[in-house]
């Protein structure tokens, strides 16, 4: 058994920042990650980092823009923490060597981004995430922080008291991809989940193949509620053939969108009369799909993004990476012709319910980054707010897990306090009720009620070894690839930008059938080393759980708010729905409940207003 004070699961932006912060508090820290850190998906983030740095801007304006962008479903303590801490974090990574783009006078450059009232997005060309990863990984190496890369974390070692709020997390169980070893990692002070998003639940996504929702699913099955999972962001500019992201920075620099009639439709069709292409992402994505659905798209699939008028010098200086992506994946020279783009799944606004210090309702279990829901983003994330979330809340989670004093949290977690339960009649029983899951351990729930942390970890190690043995010993059944394809098809068809009640119900029926099919899954590759078949089989189970929470939230929320559009409910209903949707695993019999949104900030109360751009 390996042992450290703080164990960080995931080596992307949030994980690296959490590890550095915990180490600065004096903890013995380890990062356990299925990828080498610089291969993490944070490296695909192109746009930038929002922070109020200049005269004329301040954290309160940043907070207001973020609350408005969230369609008033973000929690004020979280939003204000982000806005207040972001400048200091930007200064810190700049001092560590982050190669920000700069103005002629040497100041860090900032550009406009969608939904912002001030150009506050700092950036490093169109490769901001890539440079952020390398900057922080250098600090990890410099500090001698242990990194277990290509170790796939299979589950948490959590005690199994009756209610999650009584449970404690004592570590993790991981599979060494290189050797096939399954081992326990004991965490004396805390486990921080920073595993990225669940984009592989959809078949057209900007997310990497590794983004399989592992952290969400492990925390969910351990008893932590999933918060606001219905709010999935579809980025308006992805390449049609691959889902590769084209940065919002193109529109921030002045790129324009037009349809097959040559119209700059964001203005000419009234989707965003003031901000046009720089309206929030949910607005632009719906506009693009409306253009296509009404026959004004190219090849009934996409619209065009044009940056030629910006000039070669400006494009090469600030957006060079975009030229390479357009050429490599679409055969388009962005200096001479427009690029085809369409919406693609990009980001999960919801996630593991945490407070503003990253702590969940389970003692010793934290989450940060896209995996977590603080909630900063509410119903819609503004461009440029994901990277500051990584470093701000990664740092806070690392500090708190290592014993640092951040003050008392204002955000409550768990199935307690001011909550109400949902009474929606569902078309099919979610979770695993009525299923014979056998002794394979695929549910991977909890551990044992014991005060002995070592025993909790060892018990979970044995459960995971049994799980793998069962999967490997079978020589027939259904393979994960077919199950995953079926899941992606129903999510893309029924839980996409435009959602209808019957489609959401059909998705739940499909997920039930997919969950039943998974009981017959087997691993075809018999090897124990570099067995991607085994890893992807386990990842697919995680995707099933995450997809179900997304769909449940989408069905029960009967309103139109932010990224969540319902055909039968075409208005935002503040009287009914200024509240967070929470889904608890409840030992395989999920419960849905709600908690009010916190709109009271440090100096003001955010009054919901009509969101227009």
> 39, 48, 47, 45: which is closest to 11 by C-alpha?
39
Phi, psi of 369 (to 5 degrees): 85, -155
Q: Encoding tokens for residue 557?
A: 């929320």
Phi, psi of 265 (to 5 degrees): -65, -25
Quick check: is 572 catalytic?
no
Distances in Å between the Cα of 440 and the Cα atoms of 155, 465, 469, 483, 547 are 14, 10, 8, 18, 22
User: Cα-atom radius of gyration of the chain, to the nearest Å?
Assistant: 23
Contacts of 299 by beta carbon, 8 Å cutoff, 6+ apart? none
CA distance 402 to 223: 23
Angle at Cα 147 formed by Cα 450 and Cα 451, nearest 5°?
A: 5
The number of residues making up the chain comes to 613
3-class DSSP assignment, residue 468: helix
CA distance 325 to 243: 11
Phi, psi of 501 (to 5 degrees): -55, -45
CA distance 339 to 555: 35
> What's the 3-state SS for 25-90?
CCCCEEEEECCCHHHCHHHHCCCCEECCCCCCCCHHHHHHHHHHHCCCCCCHHHHHHHHHHHHHHH
Q: Are 29 and 19 in contact (CB under 8 A)?
A: yes
Query: DSSP H helical segments within 446-500, as ranges?
Result: 453-473, 480-494
Phi, psi of 267 (to 5 degrees): -95, -50
Q: Are 468 and 152 in contact (CB under 8 A)?
A: no
- Residue for token pair 């349809």: 259
Whether the link from the prior residue into 473 is cis, omega within 30° of 0, is no
Burial 595-613 (b: 16+ CB within 10 A, else e): bebbbebeeeebeeeebeb
Active-site pick, 111, 221, 281, 595: 281
Q: Are 200 and 545 in contact (CB under 8 A)?
A: no
> 391, 321, 379, 390: which is closest to 348 by C-alpha?
379
* Catalytic residue list: 281
């Amino acid at each position: 058994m390996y042992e450290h004070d703080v164990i960080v699961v995931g080596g992307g932006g949030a994980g690296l920042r959490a590890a550095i912060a915990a180490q600065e508090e004096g903890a013995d820290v380890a990062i356990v990650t299925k990828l080498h850190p610089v291969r993490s998906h944070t490296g695909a983030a192109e746009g930038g980092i929002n922070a109020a740095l200049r005269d004329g801007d301040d954290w309160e304006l940043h907070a207001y823009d973020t609350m408005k962008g969230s369609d008033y479903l973000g929690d004020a303590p979280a939003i204000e923490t982000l806005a207040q801490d972001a400048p200091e974090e930007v200064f810190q990574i700049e001092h560590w060597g982050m190669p920000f783009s700069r103005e002629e006078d040497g100041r860090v450059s900032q550009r406009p981004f969608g939904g912002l009232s001030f150009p506050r997005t700092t950036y490093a060309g169109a490769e901001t995430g890539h440079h952020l990863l390398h900057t922080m990984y250098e600090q990890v190496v410099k500090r001698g922080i242990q990194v277990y890369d290509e170790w796939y974390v299979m589950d948490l070692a959590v005690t199994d008291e009756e209610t999650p709020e009584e449970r404690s997390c004592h570590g993790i169980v991981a599979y060494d991809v290189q050797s096939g070893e399954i081992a326990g990692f004991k965490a004396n002070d805390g486990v921080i989940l920073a595993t990225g998003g669940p984009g592989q639940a959809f078949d057209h996504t900007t997310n990497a193949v590794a983004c399989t929702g592992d952290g969400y699913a492990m925390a969910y099955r351990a008893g932590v509620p999933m918060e606001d999972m219905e709010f999935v962001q579809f980025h308006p500019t992805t390449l049609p053939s691959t889902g590769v992201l084209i940065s919002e920075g193109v529109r921030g620099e002045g790129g324009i969108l037009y349809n097959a009639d040559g119209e700059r439709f964001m203005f000419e069709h009234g989707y965003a009369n003031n901000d046009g292409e720089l309206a929030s992402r949910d607005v632009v994505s719906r506009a693009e799909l409306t253009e296509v659905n009404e026959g004004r798209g190219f090849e009934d699939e996409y619209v065009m993004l044009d940056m030629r008028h910006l000039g070669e010098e400006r494009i090469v200086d600030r957006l060079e990476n975009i030229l390479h992506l357009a050429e490599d994946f679409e055969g388009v020279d962005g200096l001479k012709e427009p690029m085809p783009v369409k919406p693609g799944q990009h980001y999960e606004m919801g996630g593991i319910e945490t407070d503003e210090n990253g702590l969940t309702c389970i003692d010793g279990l934290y989450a940060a980054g896209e995996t977590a829901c603080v909630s900063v983003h509410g119903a819609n994330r503004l461009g440029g707010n994901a990277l500051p979330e990584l470093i701000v809340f990664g740092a806070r989670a690392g500090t708190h897990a290592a014993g640092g004093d951040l003050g008392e949290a204002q955000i409550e977690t768990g199935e307690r306090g001011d909550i109400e339960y949902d009474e929606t009649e569902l078309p099919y029983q979610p979770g695993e009720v009525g299923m014979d899951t056998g002794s394979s351990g695929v549910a991977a729930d909890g551990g044992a009620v014991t005060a002995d942390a070592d025993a909790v970890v060892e018990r979970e190690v044995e459960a995971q070894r049994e799980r793998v043995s069962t999967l490997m010993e079978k020589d027939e059944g259904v393979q994960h690839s077919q199950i995953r394809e079926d899941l992606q098809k129903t999510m893309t068809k029924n839980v996409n930008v435009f959602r209808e009640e019957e489609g959401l119900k059909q998705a739940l029926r499909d997920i039930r059938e997919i969950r039943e099919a998974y009981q017959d899954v087997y691993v075809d590759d018999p090897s124990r080393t570099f067995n991607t078949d085994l890893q992807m089989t386990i990842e697919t189970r995680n995707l099933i759980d995450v997809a179900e929470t997304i769909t449940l939230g989408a069905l029960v929320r009967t309103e139109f708010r932010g990224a969540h559009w319902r055909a039968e409910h075409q208005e935002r209903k503040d009287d009914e729905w200024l509240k967070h949707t929470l889904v608890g695993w409840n030992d395989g019999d999920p419960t849905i409940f709600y908690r009010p949104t916190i709109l009271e900030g440090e100096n003001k109360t955010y009054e919901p207003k009509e969101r227009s751009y």
